[in-house]
Amino acid sequence: MSSELKDLLTRFRMVESVEAAAVVATDGLLIESIARPGVDIDAIGAVASNGLAMADALGREVAKGGTVQAVLEYEDGLVIIEPISSDAMLLLLTNSRDDLGLLRFLAAKHRDEMIDALSAI
């Protein structure tokens, strides 16, 4: 896999609350990831791809367009799903809700680099 993509994901994992950062194909297959031990990123990625499909369907149904970012907020953290191409998405899993603004900033900051890294694969 792409060392450049892994380096980009490492930037997200440097945020203390981030348990996993991954790029997942829209069909649920893992492209690249970096996660804390014990995080089943393959299973999470597969389920997250369904979540993105649901968010896209909802956006079409309510005439709001395609998904830009889906933030699922839970009692003990966040799941952030952001399409980065027609074939792949960024997936972030956190154990806290406190870093949402920082993670949204990092996703926007590194978006073009992730697109470039994906095109090199």
- Give the strands of the sheet with 88-94, arranged side by side: 30-35, 18-25, 88-94, 77-83, 70-74
Q: Is the domain defined by 3-119 classed in CATH 3.30.450.30? A: yes
Annotated domain spans of the chain: 3-119
Residue 7 makes CB contacts below 8 A (sequence gap 6+) with: none
Residue 77 pLDDT > 60? yes
pLDDT in tens, 78-99: 999 999 999 999 999 999 999 9
Residue 1 pLDDT > 80? no
In what helix (H) or strand (E) does residue 108 lie, and over which residues does it extend? helix 100-119
Asked whether the beta carbons of 45 and 111 are under 8 A apart, the reply is no
Q: How far is Cα 9 from Cα 32, in angstroms, rounded to an integer?
A: 8
Asked whether the beta carbons of 5 and 117 are under 8 A apart, the reply is yes
pLDDT in tens, 7-33: 999 999 999 999 999 999 999 999 999
